[in-house]
Amino acid sequence: MLTYKFDWAIVTSGKYFDWIVSGFYVTIKLSMVSIALSFLLGLIIAIMRMSHLRPVRWFAHGYLEFFRNTPLLVQIFFWYFGSYKVLPAVANDWLVKQDFEFAAAVIALTIYTSAFIAEDIRSGVRSIPKEQMEAARSSGFSYIRSMQYIILPQAVRLTIPPLINQFLNLMKNSSLAMTIGVAELMYQARQVESYTFKGFEAFSAATLVYLALSFTITGLMTLYDKKVLQPLKGR
Amino acid sequence: MIGGLDFSVVSDNLSYFFIGRYPKGPLGGVGLTLYLAVVSLALSFIGGLVLGLMSVSRNRLLRFGSSTVIQTIRGMPLLMVIFWMFFLLPAMLGSGMTASWTIIVALTLFTSAYMSEIVRAGIVGIPKGQTEAAISTGLSHGQAMFYIILPQALRNMIPSFVNQFVSMIKDTSLAFIVGVTELTQIATQINNRTMLYPTEIFIFIAVIYFVICFAFTELSRWLERRLAYRKAI
């Protein structure tokens, strides 16, 4: 350890710096695409989970339990290596024309995260008093419309802090995409390490980027709580 | 054959999936997954307790120290912690660490940070009057914590610990990356050897993980209900 010479220059400028930066971009892109899709999917699953039709509710429940109780890594491997046998031919053809590693990572992250988001949305909806729904129904809104105009807008406001938290988890989980060769931050840090043997510097740089991202997101959450939720409570 | 899938690859390798090459070789598969999870959970219980107690301490330095550690670890992906351990532990301790133990250290460090929040919430959740009553009967702050607050707080934390165990089982799959032969590693090995059945293999291990984790999730829910019931009496 004593003979180790630090060389911070390799991660602050030049080729290896560019690798880390490009890894950062891929991490951001992967997280942004996946959070948007998992919010949509999570919303659909949450609504299905609260449906009056028993089969629909059971399907949503099964979906939630299965994907929450299976490791993300296994899900990533399934979509990357094994999905071709269960997907229809059209979907396979479309997928191989995309950046397949990236697409598989997005699918796995989306499905995994949507299961968590659906539960967050559901508990947000359940915290809205039942009378709101009854009042909406009695003034002539259909179930879907009362959800759309009355319940969900209020629930989503309460769900934003847990959603930001899920985004934080998603951003950290996206590092697992390196196992199937998506060139995100973790992958690039490892790449720099294997090219230069300067692992300490490479991992420090990646750690700093992850910490900066995490603290920014946590800061946003605190800000939202202070500026939006607290004033509402005071009313 | 189920829906065009051929699960004979699973039945041919069933004991390899569950126990690896044990008893003729080292333990692997589901056995190793559970071993890693149980050992890491036990160790991170201690780590979480220490960090949690530090974060409710009256000493500002201890509070600052624990919150720095907790925030830093919670801000990183688990994968990053694993790579750091693989990189730093040999440098600090020489080459004596096996891959399994390095993973256990990484999982312990990572989970301790999350566990400490559970411990802290548990301690804060005990009404303040308890501490005051304990101190007014002549106990010191430390004694009040160990004899009065912690025993009650720990009982309330049990469901959260079980939940953490579920996360831990899922997290052990990351040991695959450094070549520890737990369930996910076994699955990729068999997949690399047979080449033709990735779908069957990964569906099978997903189901195994699901069965184990779901059982513990249900246990945690049951414990929570029972706890709420006992509190209501």
CATH number at residue B100: 1.10.3720.10
Q: Give the span between the Cα atoms of B190 and A26, in whole angstroms.
A: 31
Give the pLDDT of residue A2: 57
Band (pLDDT 50/70/90 cuts) for residue A199 is: confident
Residue A145: per-residue pLDDT: 92
Q: Are B9 and B201 in contact (CB under 8 A)?
A: yes
**Contacts B166 to A, Cβ<8 Å:** 69
Please answer yes or no on whether A83 and B206 come within 8 Å at the CB atom.
no
Would you say residue B2 lies in a domain?
no
| A1 in contact with chain B, both atoms CB, cutoff 8 A | yes
Q: What is the mean pLDDT of the segment spanning A70-86?
A: 94
Provide the pLDDT for residue A24: 96
Evaluate if residue A101 carries a pLDDT over 90.
yes
Q: Which amino acid, one-letter code, is at B232?
A: A
Among the partner-chain residues B75, B209, B210, the one whose CB lies closest to the CB of A214 is B75
B91 contacts A69? CB cut-off 8 A: no
For A144-157, the pLDDT digits (tens) are 899 889 998 888 88
Q: Which residues of A touch B199 (CB under 8 A)?
A: 78, 81-86
Domain boundaries, chain A: 9-234
Q: Could you read off the pLDDT of A10-29 as tens digits, one per residue?
A: 888 889 999 999 999 999 99
Contact A116, A166 (CB under 8 A): yes
Distance of alpha carbon A4 from alpha carbon A9, whole angstroms: 15
Domain A9-234 has CATH 1.10.10.10: no
Q: Phi then psi for B27, rounded to 5 degrees?
A: -65, 145
Note whether B165 and B10 are within 8 A (CB).
no
Question: What is the domain extent for residue B93?
Answer: 8-232
Work out the angle at residue A151's Cα, subtended by the Cα atoms of residues A146 and A157, and round it to the nearest 5 degrees.
150
- Is A63 a residue whose pLDDT tops 80? yes
Q: Which of B9, B73, B92, B199 has the most A C-beta neighbours within 10 Å, making it the best mutation to test the interface with A?
A: B199
Q: Is residue B1 domain-resident?
A: no
- Which tokens hold the place of A62? 């099964």
Minimal Cα–Cα distance from B80 to chain A, Å? 7
What domain count does chain B have?
Answer: 1
User: How wide is the angle at C-alpha B108 spanned by C-alphas B104 and B110, nearest 5°?
Assistant: 120
Higher pLDDT, residue A228 or B207 = B207
Amino acid identity, position B220: S
Q: Is B119 exposed, middle or buried (0-12, 13-18, 19+ CB in 10 A)?
A: buried
Average pLDDT along chain A: 92
Per-residue pLDDT at B164: 95
Neighbours of B73 (CB within 10 A): 19
A70: contact with B, CB 8 A cutoff:
yes
A108 chain-B contacts, CB cut-off 8 A: none
Other CB atoms within 10 A of residue A109 CB? 27
Q: Please judge whether B75 and A210 are an interchain contact, meaning their C-beta atoms are less than 8 angstroms apart.
A: yes
Two tokens, residue B48? 């979480």
Residue percentage of chain A with pLDDT more than 70:
98
Q: Can you give the pLDDT at residue B90?
A: 84
Q: Which residues of A touch B78 (CB under 8 A)?
A: 172
User: pLDDT averaged over consecutive 10-residue blocks of chain B (233 residues)?
Assistant: 83 93 91 97 96 94 96 95 90 82 96 96 93 94 93 92 96 94 95 93 97 96 90 76
Q: What are phi and psi of B2, to 5 degrees?
A: -120, 115
pLDDT tens-place string over residues A121-138: 999 999 899 899 999 999
* Domain presence at residue B122: yes
Q: Look at residue A185 and tell me whether its pLDDT is greater than 80.
A: yes
Residue B48 located in a structural domain: yes
User: Euclidean distance between the first and final Cα of chain B, in Å?
Assistant: 53
Number of C-beta neighbours around residue A44 at 10 A = 14
CA distance B166 to A70: 9
Distance CA A63, CA A54 (A): 14
In chain B, the percentage of residues whose pLDDT exceeds 90 is: 84
Question: What residues have CB less than 8 Å from B195, skipping those under 6 apart?
Answer: none
